[in-house]
Chains A and B, each alone.
Chain A
Amino acid sequence: NAGVTQTPKFQVLKTGQSMTLQCAQDMNHNSMYWYRQDPGMGLRLIYYSASEGTTDKGEVPNGYNVSRLNKREFSLRLESAAPSQTSVYFCASRTSGAYEQYFGPGTRLTVT
Chain B
Amino acid sequence: RKEVEQDPGPFNVPEGATVAFNCTYSNSASQSFFWYRQDCRKEPKLLMSVYSSGNEDGRFTAQLNRASQYISLLIRDSKLSDSATYLCVVTPTGNQFYFGTGTSLTVIP
Question: Is A42 within 8 A of B87, CB to CB?
Answer: yes
Question: Is A103 within 8 A of B45, CB to CB?
Answer: yes
Given A42-B100, A42-B102: A99 in contact with B95 (beta carbons within 8 A)? no
Question: Is B94 within 8 A of A43, CB to CB?
Answer: no
Question: Is A42 within 8 A of B43, CB to CB?
Answer: no
9 new A-B pairs (CB below 8 Å) besides A35-B99, A105-B42?
A: A33-B97, A40-B8, A40-B101, A42-B4, A42-B102, A43-B87, A99-B91, A100-B34, A103-B45
- C-alpha spacing A104/B44, complex, angstroms: 9
Q: Which of B34, B44, B101 contacts A99 (CB 8 A)?
A: B34
Number of interface residues of B (CB under 8 A): 21
Given A42-B87, A42-B102, A43-B87: A103 in contact with B44 (beta carbons within 8 A)? yes
Question: Is A45 within 8 A of B101, CB to CB?
Answer: no
- C-alpha spacing A42/B4, complex, angstroms: 10
Interface of B toward A, CB cutoff 8 Å: 4, 8, 32, 34, 42-46, 49, 87, 91, 94-102
Give chain B nearest CB distance to A36 CB in angstroms: 11
Q: Across the interface, which residues of B come within 8 angstroms of A56, CB to CB?
A: 95
Digitize A30-53: 1 where CB-to-B-CB distance is under 8 Å, 0 elsewhere. Answer: 010101000011111100101000
Q: Does A101 contact B (CB under 8 A)?
A: yes
Interface size class, chain A: 20 to 34
Given A42-B99, A58-B96: A90 in contact with B43 (beta carbons within 8 A)? yes
Question: Is A42 within 8 A of B44, CB to CB?
Answer: no
Give chain B nearest CB distance to A42 CB in angstroms: 4
Kindly list the 10 A-B residue pairs having the minimum CB-CB distance in the complex, ordered from nearest.
Answer: A103-B43, A42-B101, A43-B99, A42-B99, A100-B46, A99-B32, A103-B44, A105-B43, A50-B95, A42-B100
* 16-35 of chain A: CB within 8 A of chain B: 31, 33, 35
Question: Is B100 within 8 A of A99, CB to CB?
Answer: no
- C-alpha spacing A103/B95, complex, angstroms: 15
